[in-house]
Chains A and B, each alone.
Chain A
Amino acid sequence: MIIIKNLTKKFGSKVAVDNISVAIPEGRVIGFLGPNGAGKTTTMNIILGLEKPTAGEVKIDGKNYTELKDPLRVVGAIVGTNFHKNRSLREHLRFLTVVAGIPRNRIDEVLELTGLTDVAKKPVGKFSLGMTQRAGIAAAILGEPKYLILDEPVSGLDPEGIICVREFCKAYAAAGHTVLISSHLMSEVEHTVDGAIIIGRGKIIMTGTLKEILRKTETKTLEAAFIKLTAKEVEFRAGELPKFSEAEGGK
Chain B
Amino acid sequence: MWKLLKSEFIKARSLRSIRLLCIFGILIFVALALVSVQNLLNAKSLSDINTYQDVARYHRDTVQVLWSSVNGAIPIMFQIIVGILAVLLVTNEYVSGTIKSSLMATPRRFKLFVAKLIFTLALIATLTFVLQILAFVIVWCFQSGRITEVGLWASLTQDFATNCLAPVLAVTLSSAIWFGFAWIIRNSTGAILLGISMVLILTALINMVFGWEHGPEINNWMPQGFFDQVFDPSSSSVCSITKKEEPCSDFLRGVIGLGSYTILTLAVSALIFQKRDA
A binding-site residues for B, Cβ under 8 Å: 45, 48-52, 65-66, 68, 71-72, 75, 77, 79-88, 91-92, 94-96, 98-101, 139
Q: Does any Cβ of A come within 8 Å of B3's Cβ?
A: yes
- Complex CA gap A227/B277 in Å reads 31
Does A86 lie within 8 Å of B97, measured CB to CB?
no
- Complex CA gap A45/B104 in Å reads 10
Kindly list the 5 A-B residue pairs having the minimum CB-CB distance in the complex, ordered from nearest: A91-B14, A84-B96, A51-B277, A50-B278, A66-B107
Does B14 lie within 8 Å of A83, measured CB to CB?
no
Q: Can you list 7 pairs linking A and B with CB atoms under 8 Å apart?
A: A50-B104, A86-B16, A87-B96, A87-B98, A94-B14, A96-B101, A98-B7
Does A99 lie within 8 Å of B96, measured CB to CB?
no
Count A/B pairs, Cβ under 8 Å. Answer: 86
Does A92 lie within 8 Å of B104, measured CB to CB?
no
Does B107 lie within 8 Å of A68, measured CB to CB?
yes
B-side binding surface: helix, strand, loop or mixed?
helix
Which residues of chain B come closer than 8 Å to A83, judged between CB atoms? 96-98, 101
Does B107 lie within 8 Å of A49, measured CB to CB?
yes
* Cβ contact of B100, chosen from A66, A80, A94, cutoff 8 A: A80
In this complex, the interface size class of chain B, counting residues with CB under 8 Å from chain A, is 20 to 34
Question: Taking the nearest CB of chain B, how far is it from the CB of A144, in angstroms?
Answer: 15
B binding-site residues for A, Cβ under 8 Å: 3-4, 6-7, 10-11, 14-17, 92-93, 96-108, 275, 277-278
Q: A82-B98, A98-B3, A99-B3 are in contact. Are A52 and B277 (CB under 8 A)?
A: yes
Which residues of chain B come closer than 8 Å to A72, judged between CB atoms? 104-105
Given contacts A87-B14, A94-B10, 19 further A-B contacts (CB under 8 A): A48-B104, A50-B100, A50-B277, A52-B277, A66-B108, A72-B105, A79-B100, A84-B93, A86-B15, A87-B11, A87-B15, A87-B98, A92-B14, A95-B7, A95-B10, A95-B11, A96-B101, A98-B3, A139-B101
- Complex CA gap A99/B105 in Å reads 7
Does A45 lie within 8 Å of B278, measured CB to CB?
yes
